[in-house]
Amino acid sequence: MSSNSNSTNRESVHLAVYDTLADWEPGHATAQLARAGYEIRTVGPTREPVRSVGGLCIQPDLALDDVRPSDASLLILPGADLWDAGDDLAPFASKAREFLDAGVPVAAICGATAGLAREGLLDDRDHTSAVSFYLAATGYGGGERYVEADAVTDGGLVTAGPTEPVAFAREILRLLHVYDDEAVDAWYRLFHDSDPEAYAVLEKAGVL
């Protein structure tokens, strides 16, 4: 069970939200973190509502300019069409740099990995994404650090491709030490592989 679940001061995880947000990508992570006692706070470009690619209207809790690394345990950057449609989301990549420089981890999936590549944050960290040539198209200098894997954690940064929301969540749960390794592995086997034997491990760990 998470060490945070019995805390009176809930740790906060910041979830970036913006127009064309890929709904399916952060859901496993945020749901499990919330169940473990974390407070999920949404961060938009402003406090104005945004609409996901699935049509969900989201009212951000915070505007990006008001976000400080000291107020969060993690910043999650989901994918969105806007990451590849111009510089509208570049401020979120800059904020990711601020978090990493402060020693606060960041998790980026899908198009957000390209945003971080443009920001130079993948040049000196092992990372992954949808495919290597997707990131290569950004002109970044980290191609030799690209790893063919479902998700990668290095230097306080989690990266994953758009088809790996469960692996993305797995890495986040490990990085924040939400559960022990055995429970995280069982959680992944349950939600990724539909392994019924994982239930017993999770029940014993108090996760379910």
Q: Which of 60, 2, 9, 57 is nearest to 32 (CA)?
A: 2
Predicted pLDDT at 157: 98
Tell me the per-residue pLDDT of 39-48, one tens digit each, with 9 for 90 and over: 999 999 999 9
Residue 4 pLDDT greater than 70, yes or no: no
Predicted pLDDT at 206: 87
Tell me the per-residue pLDDT of 40-85, one tens digit each, with 9 for 90 and over: 999 999 999 999 999 999 999 999 999 999 999 999 999 999 999 9
Predicted pLDDT at 6: 37
Tell me the per-residue pLDDT of 153-208, one tens digit each, with 9 for 90 and over: 999 999 999 999 999 999 999 999 999 999 999 999 999 999 999 999 999 988 87
Look up 110 and say whether it is catalytic: yes
Residue 7 pLDDT greater than 60, yes or no: no
Predicted pLDDT at 2: 39
Predicted pLDDT at 98: 98
Residue 146 pLDDT greater than 70, yes or no: yes
Which whole number is the average pLDDT over 83-92?
97
Q: How would you list the strands of the sheet with 74-77, edge to edge? A: 62-63, 39-44, 12-16, 74-77, 106-109, 157-160, 151-154
Predicted pLDDT at 207: 87
Tell me the per-residue pLDDT of 103-128, one tens digit each, with 9 for 90 and over: 999 999 999 999 999 999 999 999 99
Q: Which residues contact 76 (CB under 8 A, 6 or more apart)?
A: 13, 14, 15, 16, 26, 29, 30, 106, 107, 108, 172
pTM over 0.75? The answer is yes
Q: Which of 21, 29, 107, 110 is catalytic?
A: 110
Which whole number is the average pLDDT over 2-11?
47
CB 192 within 8 A of CB 167: yes
